């Protein structure tokens, strides 16, 4: 099946790749849903502007925890394989639901449908900062949270004007960035070969991208450890982690 999918990928006119959280679990970034034991609420209620205003302790700690993990993580062999395939002309567009920036850190480019956790910006003056700005300077803040002693500090306010900072991710209830969504939809409709990697296709409207590709007659490959609702329409289905499969395909296409 690897030889077969590699042959189809190599000869595709407009190959498009779509990635989700499963792309980054092998970089040591847990799908944050699996870490939700740390939080009383589900991410759907915590990752909102309402939560930022109503329960800033929970909101900021949730993002600080994720930002700390993000900058500790490194791209894996799957990110490297996709960057190499793109550099060799075998990926026309890479669309990602991830906010970790690992595709870019591997040397690739990505259309980021859900924004990025690599930067934060000021709610008052709009100034943008590296997201590490948001991390508390004093050690022990994660333990303080678990002990109920955590409070968001000055790091959560804009160094320029003192306004509140927010992560540059799409929060629940917010629309996708218009330009990114249009580009993703256009690329998906133009695809003749579409690869889903590490996404269970549970989150809309991002999960419309493979549907657009199928409507346009693209052949679909799915590389995901769990079921997706499009598995039955996939010409190639790898019920597996991402990095090993992508590295094997890369080997077959460009050596």
Residues 173-202 that bind Zn ion (CB under 5 A): none
Contacts of 216 (CB under 8 A, 6+ apart): 188, 189, 190, 191, 192
- Tell the smallest beta-carbon distance from residue 69 to Zn ion (Å): 26
- Tell the smallest beta-carbon distance from residue 56 to Zn ion (Å): 16
Q: Which stretch binds Zn ion (CB under 5 A): 90-98, 141-149, 161-169, 194-202?
A: 161-169
- Tell the smallest beta-carbon distance from residue 128 to Zn ion (Å): 10
Question: Does 163 help bind Zn ion (rule: CB under 5 A)?
Answer: yes
Distance CA(208)–CA(210), nearest Å, equals: 6
Q: Give CA angle at 32 (29, 33), nearest 5°.
A: 140
- Tell the smallest beta-carbon distance from residue 122 to Zn ion (Å): 3
Q: Is 25 or 121 the residue whose CB approaches Zn ion more closely?
A: 121
Question: Does 161 help bind Zn ion (rule: CB under 5 A)?
Answer: yes
Distance CA(110)–CA(243), nearest Å, equals: 17
Residues involved in catalysis: 114
Q: Is 122 or 196 the residue whose CB approaches Zn ion more closely?
A: 122
Q: Which stretch binds Zn ion (CB under 5 A): 52-60, 99-107, 151-159, 229-237?
A: 151-159
Tell me, by CB under 5 A, how many residues bind Zn ion.
Answer: 8
| Torsion sign over Cα 173, 174, 175, 176 | negative
Q: Is 53 or 160 the residue whose CB approaches Zn ion more closely?
A: 160
Question: Does 33 help bind Zn ion (rule: CB under 5 A)?
Answer: no
Question: Does 160 help bind Zn ion (rule: CB under 5 A)?
Answer: yes
Which of 192, 209, 129 has the alpha carbon at shortest distance from 163? 129
Distance CA(8)–CA(1), nearest Å, equals: 11
Whether the Cβ atoms of residue 134 and residue 143 lie closer than 8 Å to each other: no
Burial of 116 (0-12, 13-18, 19+ CB in 10 A): buried
- Tell the smallest beta-carbon distance from residue 76 to Zn ion (Å): 35
Q: Is 81 or 122 the residue whose CB approaches Zn ion more closely?
A: 122
Question: Does 158 help bind Zn ion (rule: CB under 5 A)?
Answer: yes
Q: Which stretch binds Zn ion (CB under 5 A): 6-14, 50-58, 156-164, 168-176?
A: 156-164
Residues 103-132 that bind Zn ion (CB under 5 A): 122, 124-125, 127
Strand order through the sheet with 15-19: 111-112, 93-96, 15-19, 193-197, 219-223, 236-238
Q: Is 30 or 126 the residue whose CB approaches Zn ion more closely?
A: 126
Distance CA(137)–CA(62), nearest Å, equals: 16
The residue ranges that bind Zn ion (CB under 5 A) are 122, 124-125, 127, 158, 160-161, 163
């Amino acid at each position: 099946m690897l030889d077969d999918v590699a042959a189809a990928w190599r000869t595709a006119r407009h190959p498009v790749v779509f990635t989700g959280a499963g792309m980054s679990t092998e970089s040591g970034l847990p799908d944050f849903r699996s870490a939700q034991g740390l939080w009383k609420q589900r991410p759907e209620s915590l990752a909102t502007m309402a939560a930022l205003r109503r329960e800033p302790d929970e909101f900021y700690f949730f993002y600080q925890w994720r930002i700390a993990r993000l900058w500790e993580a490194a791209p894996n062999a799957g990110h490297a394989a996709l960057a190499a395939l793109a550099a060799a002309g075998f990926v026309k567009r890479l669309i990602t639901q991830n906010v970790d920036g690992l595709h870019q850190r591997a040397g690739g480019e990505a259309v980021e449908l859900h924004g990025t956790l690599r930067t934060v910006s000021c709610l008052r003056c709009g100034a943008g900062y590296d997201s590490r700005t948001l991390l508390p300077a004093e050690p022990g803040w994660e333990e303080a949270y678990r002990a109920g002693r955590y409070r968001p500090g000055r790091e959560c306010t804009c160094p320029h004007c003192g306004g509140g900072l927010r992560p540059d991710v799409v929060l629940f209830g917010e629309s996708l960035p218009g330009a990114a969504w249009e580009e993703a939809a256009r690329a998906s409709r133009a695809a003749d070969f579409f690869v889903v990697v590490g996404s269970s296709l549970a989150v809309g409207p991002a999960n419309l991208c493979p549907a657009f590709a199928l409507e346009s007659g693209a052949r679909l490959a799915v590389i995901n450890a769990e079921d997706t609702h499009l598995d039955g329409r996939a010409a190639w289905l790898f019920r597996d982690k991402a990095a090993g499969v992508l590295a094997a395909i890369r080997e077959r296409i460009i050596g």
